Structure 1
């Protein structure tokens, strides 16, 4: 049996929202809550969920833009970027965190969950993965090019779980001085690891974007799997 996928519905105080669930062929494994970019749970994020399911994880990717419209998914063109920024600005981070917590609860209810749960987020989702770690909702956390983490370092002391952060050396949205600021704040925290990938732009993990960097994506995925294997 191969990876199986489906959309499920999750109840919240504000209504129902969707989440994309990917289950490995073994039907069991540790869990991952996969946190979207600003482009929604689109084809790319679904493919990432399936990739981690193929790696042996139960993966859930909640639709965090559902209050603006169910299952919004955007392309990486000019119109997509414009709409994505609008949706991000309309999203309350506190509400998004509650939705992520509900998605984690839904993951915990899966009969095949065998082990801890990690959060992995990309871009806006990277920042939310950082908050998820600070909120103590997961056992480990990964943030890919998490925009704005450098402005949320007052939460650094709340990070009590292993945290891996990936950044691109040539990220036009997250300058290296921001990465250095983050690194300085966590230099005495042995639970936090930061990797900077040479010649990598923002969104380097996404094969649907012009900024895709195959080598950086492969190395980051490998580093993430090693990190999860060691810490989860």
Structure 2
């Protein structure tokens, strides 16, 4: 697979979006939305995995207005620094940036069959906001802490959605996930999975403090099956 950097133009500037191509050279697009650690080694590893599945993957730099190219260390100090940076992040501007990035990704000549989105942590929340605004082909949202408090947006989302949460997540109250599950129940194309043995960021293999291998493997199988149904690779 190959990788390159694209520039995405918005009203107040330009930001980078790293793009990975599958071995075939073309395929459906997937906008990969970063955690608070930025487009670092974990996001790049996920991008390579998705490209290996046949997708053209774009990972935009959400923090470009605050600290372009931010890559937080996956330790306690890096967590605190990344959380401080995320506390200054403007969700409205970020959603507009993602909409522009999705359009930019979908317009690439190598993207065929539509463009969806997949986000982790901060990216899980931002993907949800994006889906309510910009109509991606599909969405996978991993442990988006803001999602349970924005249930009113569900009616604005028209694409298939898979939500993934950990049952042992200290950052996202279980009651909020239960309310989301009730709101999602019966909505065509929407599904919610709780990995009871997963905490927050349980899929992040670069962060030993969070990674739960069994929960991560189970959730990823569900994600692969969901993407195969909702954004199939030809």
2:148 is aligned with 1:150: yes
Over residues 122-173 of structure 1, what are the superposed CA-to-partner deviations in whole Å (9 max), with x where a residue is unaligned? 0010011111111143011010011111111111211221100001111111
What pairs up with 1:19-168 in 2 under 5 angstroms?
19-168=17-166
Q: Which moved more, 1:194-203 or 1:8-17?
A: 8-17
Task: Indicate conservation of the 8 Å contact 1:145/1:166, yes or no.
Answer: yes
The CA distance in 1 between the partners of 2:157 and 2:108, in whole Å, is 26
2:223 is aligned with 1:224: yes
Task: Indicate conservation of the 8 Å contact 1:10/1:106, yes or no.
Answer: yes
The CA distance in 2 between the partners of 1:137 and 1:92, in whole Å, is 21
SS of residue matched to 2:87:
helix
- 1:105 CA drift (Å): 1.7
Structure 1: unaligned runs, 5 residues or longer: none
SS of residue matched to 1:90:
coil
- 1:175 CA drift (Å): 2.3
Over residues 73-127 of structure 1, what are the superposed CA-to-partner deviations in whole Å (9 max), with x where a residue is unaligned? 1012222122211221211111111111111122122111111211100001001
The CA distance in 2 between the partners of 1:199 and 1:222, in whole Å, is 16
Over residues 154-196 of structure 1, what are the superposed CA-to-partner deviations in whole Å (9 max), with x where a residue is unaligned? 1121122110000111111112211101111122313210011
Q: Which moved more, 1:131-140 or 1:18-27?
A: 131-140
Task: Indicate conservation of the 8 Å contact 1:136/1:160, yes or no.
Answer: no
2:172 is aligned with 1:169: no
The CA distance in 2 between the partners of 1:189 and 1:165, in whole Å, is 13
SS of residue matched to 1:135:
helix
With structure 1 as the length reference, what TM-score do the two structures score?
Answer: 0.95
Structure 2: unaligned runs, 5 residues or longer: none
Say how many residue pairs are matched: 230
The CA distance in 2 between the partners of 1:10 and 1:139, in whole Å, is 20
Structure 1 consecutive aligned stretches of length 4 or more whose deviation exceeds 3 Å: none
Cα RMSD over matched residues? Answer: 1.2
